[in-house]
């Protein structure tokens, strides 16, 4: 980059002298249009359960979803993302509850669509970890995750969610080839307008702990997920993953976690010019909340960090702060 001019004729501070001027030349802005609100679901009636390690975040029974979705709609947040806490008695090795037409996600989709119509979008996670007794995203056999066999189930899960009214199918499982197979089957079954947001770049991270508590998989997980989630040391591999998913039909791609991977967001945006989303994951959320609570940082860091995602190239951010900061962004 070439800077023309020199001091004292060039004084970069001049543009920073007043609030109106700073706003006028601002390069990146954060708005409610950039936010996606994750919501955790729990079976039963009139339930609002706190989640260990996630301050002010709750699991909601379907009939209490209005507690949180009303606010999201009022705040003009574009989309919610649904994640179920599945009772242990419903979990098994194959994650068959993921294909139950009466499971929590299906009920929640129908509830939101009936009550809110198209005033807010619905994004649904496609993976087996909330439903398996071993806590993995795919089928497990003798310690090995079965790729192709898992993809067959993910196709059925995606079709079920689309039938219920899901707007954005979001495979987070990291199985090879699943985007192409899901897209093909959605199109074949007249769901050509259902979007696919691929978790194309999902790292094997230590930041997921509170989320796994939220969906009830943490205590069940056998081993780790390093054979299918990415090595956090790699960046070129992320380019390959995104390239494959775009070729297979992804409409948008996700980078997860968020803040430690801003460089990856920038790399993908510069290389592919595709909508890129970031997930500010549970561990990031909890660290920020604890820092604010202890007075180590102040609450203004929330917007500063989220603006950092925008500066890196993210079109939107999945964040547990969505409803909390929406009013400040209007």
Res 139 pLDDT > 80: yes
Over residues 203-260, the pLDDT tens digits come to 999 999 999 999 999 889 989 999 999 999 999 999 999 999 999 999 999 999 999 9
So what's the pLDDT on residue 85? 97
Residue written as token pair 């969610």: 161
DSSP percent split of the chain into helix, strand, coil, nearest 5: 45, 20, 35
So what's the pLDDT on residue 218? 82
pTM (2 decimals)? 0.96
Q: Output DSSP code: residue 77.
A: -
Contact 118, 129 (CB under 8 A): no
Tell me the C-alpha distance between 181 and 260, whole Å.
Answer: 31
So what's the pLDDT on residue 148? 98
Query: What band does 188 get if pLDDT is binned at 50, 70 and 90?
Result: very high
Res 275 pLDDT > 90: yes
Bond before 8 cis per omega within 30 degrees: yes
Q: At what angle are helices 236-248 and 178-188 packed, to 10 degrees?
A: 20
The reply to whether 202 belongs to the active site is: yes
Q: Which of 91, 107, 225, 256 is catalytic?
A: 256
Q: What is the mean pLDDT of residues 112-128?
A: 98
Query: What band does 116 get if pLDDT is binned at 50, 70 and 90?
Result: very high
The reply to whether 324 belongs to the active site is: no
Q: Which of 202, 225, 269, 310 is catalytic?
A: 202
Over residues 63-79, the pLDDT tens digits come to 999 999 999 999 999 99
Top-confidence residue, 18 or 330 = 18
So what's the pLDDT on residue 219? 86
Domain range annotation of the chain: 29-329
* Whether CATH 3.20.20.70 fits 29-329: yes
- Ranges assigned E (strand) in the chain: 35-42, 48-51, 54-60, 79-85, 121-126, 139-141, 144-146, 168-171, 195-202, 252-256, 276-279, 316-318
Query: What band does 5 get if pLDDT is binned at 50, 70 and 90?
Result: confident
Tell me the C-alpha distance between 54 and 175, whole Å.
Answer: 28
DSSP string over 182-224: HHHHHHHTT-TT-EEEEEEEEB--STTHHHHHHHT-TTT--S-
């Amino acid at each position: 980059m070439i800077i023309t001019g020199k001091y004292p004729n060039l004084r970069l501070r001049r543009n920073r002298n007043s609030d109106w001027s700073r706003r006028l030349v601002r390069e990146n802005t954060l708005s409610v249009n950039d936010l996606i609100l994750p919501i955790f679901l729990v079976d039963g009636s009139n339930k609002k359960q706190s989640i260990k390690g996630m301050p002010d975040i709750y699991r909601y029974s379907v009939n209490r979803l209005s507690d949180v979705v009303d606010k999201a709609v009022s705040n003009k947040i574009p989309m919610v993302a649904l994640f179920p806490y599945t009772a242990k008695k419903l979990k098994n090795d194959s994650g068959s509850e993921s294909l139950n037409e009466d499971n929590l996600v299906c009920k929640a989709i129908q509830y939101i669509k009936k009550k809110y119509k198209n005033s807010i979008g619905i994004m649904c996670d496609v993976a087996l970890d909330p439903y398996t007794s071993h806590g993995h995203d795919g089928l497990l056999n003798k310690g090995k995750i079965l790729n192709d066999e898992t993809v067959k189930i993910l196709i059925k899960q995606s079709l079920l969610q689309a039938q219920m009214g899901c707007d954005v199918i979001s495979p987070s499982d990291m199985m090879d080839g699943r985007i192409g197979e899901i897209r093909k089957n959605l199109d074949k079954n007249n769901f050509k307008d259902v979007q696919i947001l691929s978790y194309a770049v999902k790292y094997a991270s230590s930041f997921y702990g509170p989320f796994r508590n939220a969906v009830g998989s943490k205590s069940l997980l056998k081993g780790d997920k390093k054979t299918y989630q990415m090595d956090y040391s790699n960046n070129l591999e992320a380019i390959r993953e995104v390239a494959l998913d775009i070729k297979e039909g992804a409409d948008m791609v996700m980078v997860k976690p968020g803040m430690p991977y801003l460089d990856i967001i920038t790399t993908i945006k510069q290389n592919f010019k595709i909508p890129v989303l970031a997930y500010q994951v549970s561990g990031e959320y909890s660290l920020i909340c604890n820092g604010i609570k202890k007075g180590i940082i102040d609450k203004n860091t929330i917007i500063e960090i989220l603006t950092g995602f925008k500066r890196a190239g993210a079109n939107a951010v999945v964040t547990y702060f969505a409803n909390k900061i929406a009013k400040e962004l209007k």
